Amino acid sequence: MAGARPIKTSFTGGEASPRIEARSDLERYFTCCKTLVNFWPFVQGGVTARPGWRFLNESADSSKRSYLFRHIIDKSNAFVLEFGDQYIRFYKNSARLGAPYHLASPYLEADIPFLQLRGSVDVIYIYHQDYESRKLSHLGDTNWQLSTVHFDPPPSFVADADISGGAATLTPAATNGANIQFDTSVGVILAADVDRQIIFGASRAIITVVDLATRVHADILDNFPNVNPIPAGQWFLRGSPSTKLTPNKKDPVGASVTLTAVDDAFRQADVNAKKIVKINDGVIQLNLFTNAKSVKGTIKRVLSTKAQADEGTWRLEDLSFSAAFGYPRAGEFLQGRNGVSGTKAQPTAWWLSAADSYENFATGKSAADAVAYTIAAREYNAINWLVDNGPLLIGTGSDEIRAKGPGVDTPLGGDIVPDVRTQDEFGSLPIMPVKTPNGIIFVDATGRKIIALAYSSDVDRYQGTDLTRVAEHITKPAIAQGQIAYTKSPDPRLYFVRSDGQGLCLVYEPAEKVLAFSRMITQGEIESFAAIPHPDGDRYQLWVQVKVTLPSGVKRYIGYFDDKAPEFAARAWQELKLDCAKVYTGAAVTNVPVGFLDHLEGMTVGVVADSADRGDRLVVGGRFDEDLQEAATKIEVGLRFTPELTTMRPAIAGVNIEGLNKRWTKLFVRLLNSWGCEINGKQPLFPTGGQPMDQVALFTGDKDILSLGWDEDQRVTIRQPQAYPLTVLAIFGRLQIEDPLG
């Protein structure tokens, strides 16, 4: 019989894929686990049983899913926002604000997970491609205002125009050739439409002569199909009117200006749509139609001159943000500018506002002017997110892109062309990434990979690292659409929601070779996470919404993981150890008051009375169906969850012991501030010394289990079936290995 003394001093590899079960040649194999559930890893190497979450209240409408978002003004003004179907509720300092205060909103249940929120002190900009952008303003803790953002002016572009408003058919005399006659069923053509293109699907023709309001001649650039007539609403004009145009003044901003064309150039619909005229380096928004040669507007950016502009030197543009063209789906603040991106009509475009003017998107030639850019990509993938990381990082459905000014420190501005370059090609979902010291963390386009994007000086670009490479199973079936939560301190961790209702915890510190996933399972389905600074100011607080199915039906509950319950300030451990938990404090009782547990009616709950785990009770009438045997002054009640850790098969570096029978002749588990556990189904003793549990000192040291029997695996499974703390630092012992020659 051969012997070995393997030791597992670190769990910094987290839960690993079954695909690496045979890869004991990997250094990381020795830090991984087969199973790591309801444990949170430490950067230092150990793992701790997560705290339970405290029940706060039911969501406003349990029949529909809601989502939690964070907003941090400063450490003492940190809020969790509950966005539900057409409402918003607010939380601060571990409590709901101003019950029953809530705010009406336009956002429907199905659209809420696609919202992107970007806060600037006490104002939150809210983006969704199907809704006008809005601002949520904090006027007071129970005084919030939701208003539409009035971009002044908004970005604009030359869109294909349905000049008849869906009223006129179009009949070409031929499918190809030059000088081809096109007739419209209604007189909608203007003289200045010469040189514009007729568009029908992939077919194009350029107008060379305007004969009548119902007739033009055009050169066909791309053949037209044999469709006569082309139905109304399916053909368009591309480009701006071609005529000379004269403004009657050039400044100031806000002034009314008259634009006079030599030829008929404008339609009432142009003014109704509040289109933009860009002329002589200035920006004018139309507001009054006089006739086809004369319109009025408001100066949004001063003109360099009021001289007449020649054909082809001015443009008539549509608003980029509208019901017809969609609204921004993503936003970010960068270098004193408001960045937005990704409408339905311009999915690969992004814009930066004028400097220190978040709602002014007037482009120009000065450094302070707004920036407009459309990414020319091999694939037509929408921009899903923007992140300020010094340069602007842009995530699309196929690429990760960097945009910056030329040179080293040149900021982006209207006077320069941005330097835009693809960095990597994972692609992403429209889930807002999280910026950490170790990179931008985002979910890839499949929803199955979690990527860290960080700058590499070796290749002078941002590179993505697939954090799920050795744990590809951990995201299955997929990461759910919604927010990623990030607790910065005391232990930096990221939290994701899976589409099956499990939560994921990730600790990632590449400098320390830490990349550890664990899973979070509760009695219910986790639907949303949010993280904000704790009211105590010394750490972060993780909030959660959970869908719980009671015998009476579905409930959606909101709460937070409580690692320092104030009721247990004098106890050796302060964290709650049950989920959806409430704590009774008061006179000594053998049962909680009637209705105290209404939120868990009909459920079997765990009971911790005066810090001792008293087993389970059924909730009937909002209290226990059976009184406790001993009265208690502090009773924690909630749903049980089980922390469980199972190791990989034991291995010895450089030695093949696969397929050989093995047994632990002695097995030790090193614990820190713990009480109770099971090691491979056996329970080590944790004597209290006759003290009540609320006075006992937690155990730190080694617990051993003798002779666990022979088999080929010899995994070690550590569970915590009771509502007590458990932190595992190491597993070691003497492993007896069958001699293959014996």
pLDDT for the residue numbered 529: 98
Q: What is the mean pLDDT of residues 639-657?
A: 89
Give first-to-last CA distance, the chain, whole Å.
Answer: 8
Q: Which two tokens stand for residue 415?
A: 């006077």
Note if the pTM is more than 0.85: yes
What would the pLDDT profile of 336-366 be if each residue is shown by its tens digit? 999 999 999 999 999 999 999 999 999 999 9
Over 70: is that where the pLDDT of 249 sits?
yes
Instruction: Tell me how far apart the alpha carbons of residues 313 and 442 are, in angstroms, rounded to a whole number.
Output: 43
What would the pLDDT profile of 305-340 be if each residue is shown by its tens digit? 999 999 999 999 999 999 999 999 999 999 999 999
What's the Cα-to-Cα distance from 564 to each of 60, 522, 538, 586, 672, rounded to whole Å?
27, 20, 12, 19, 17
pLDDT for the residue numbered 707: 67
What would the pLDDT profile of 587-633 be if each residue is shown by its tens digit? 999 999 999 999 999 999 999 999 999 999 999 999 999 999 999 99
pLDDT for the residue numbered 2: 59
Q: How many Cβ atoms are within 10 Å of 160's Cβ, its own excluded?
A: 14
What would the pLDDT profile of 62-98 be if each residue is shown by its tens digit? 999 999 999 999 989 999 999 999 999 999 999 999 9
How does the average pLDDT of the chain come out, rounded? 95
Among the ranges given (178-187, 484-493, 689-698), the one the predictor scored with the smallest mean pLDDT: 689-698
Over 90: is that where the pLDDT of 689 sits?
no
Q: What confidence category does residue 653 fall into, taking pLDDT thresholds of 50, 70 and 90? A: confident
Percent of the chain with pLDDT over 70: 98
Distant-in-sequence, close-in-space partners of 459: CB < 8 Å, separation ≥ 6: none
pLDDT for the residue numbered 52: 98
pLDDT for the residue numbered 295: 98
Instruction: Tell me how far apart the alpha carbons of residues 329 and 131 are, in angstroms, rounded to a whole number.
Output: 9
| Cα dihedral 626→632→637→642 (10° resolution) | -100
Instruction: Tell me how far apart the alpha carbons of residues 301 and 254 are, in angstroms, rounded to a whole number.
Output: 8
Residue 617 sits at the vertex; the CA angle it makes with 613 and 622, to the nearest 5 degrees, is 120
Over 70: is that where the pLDDT of 377 sits?
no
What would the pLDDT profile of 46-66 be if each residue is shown by its tens digit? 999 999 999 999 999 999 999
Over 50: is that where the pLDDT of 276 sits?
yes
Percent of the chain with pLDDT over 90: 89
Over 90: is that where the pLDDT of 227 sits?
no
pLDDT for the residue numbered 3: 61
Over 90: is that where the pLDDT of 198 sits?
yes
pLDDT for the residue numbered 161: 96
Q: Helix, strand, or coil here: 19?
A: helix
Q: What confidence category does residue 706 fall into, taking pLDDT thresholds of 50, 70 and 90? A: confident
Residue 145 sits at the vertex; the CA angle it makes with 143 and 151, to the nearest 5 degrees, is 155
What would the pLDDT profile of 427-468 be if each residue is shown by its tens digit? 999 999 999 999 999 999 999 999 999 999 999 999 999 999
Q: What confidence category does residue 380 fall into, taking pLDDT thresholds of 50, 70 and 90? A: low
Q: How many Cβ atoms are within 10 Å of 668's Cβ, its own excluded?
A: 18
